[in-house]
Amino acid sequence: MKTFLLVICVLLIAIVLLQSNKAEGASQIISGGNADLFSKRKERGSELFISRLTFTLGGLFFIICVLMNVM
């Protein structure tokens, strides 16, 4: 179980690092320079796949951690 959790952790870190940066610059977030920061952006193709894979791996991580704590 611990080995499976370790594999999921490594995959989750790798997938999060592969995600595209939606904030195009941290300085613009603080100063308010990016007016369309929170506008609706549709994910398509590989970006949608990576987003769904991140959600799935995060859910598996949570479930396995709860199961290990209960056991």
In a domain, 59, yes or no: yes
Residue 60, in any domain of the structure: yes
What is the per-residue pLDDT for 38? 55
What's the structural domain count of the chain? 1
pLDDT value at position 41? 65
Task: Please give the single-letter amino acid code of residue 11.
Answer: L
DSSP secondary structure letter of residue 41: -
pLDDT at 44: 76
Q: Is residue 67 part of a domain?
A: yes
Q: Please give the residue range of the domain that contains residue 59.
A: 45-71
Q: Is 8 among the domain residues? A: no
Which of the residues in the chain have pLDDT under 70? 20-43
Task: Compute the distance between CA of residue 2 and CA of residue 15 in angstroms, rounded to an integer.
Answer: 20
Residue type at position 46: S
Rounded Cα distance between 22 and 38, Å, is 9
Residue 69 maps to a domain: yes
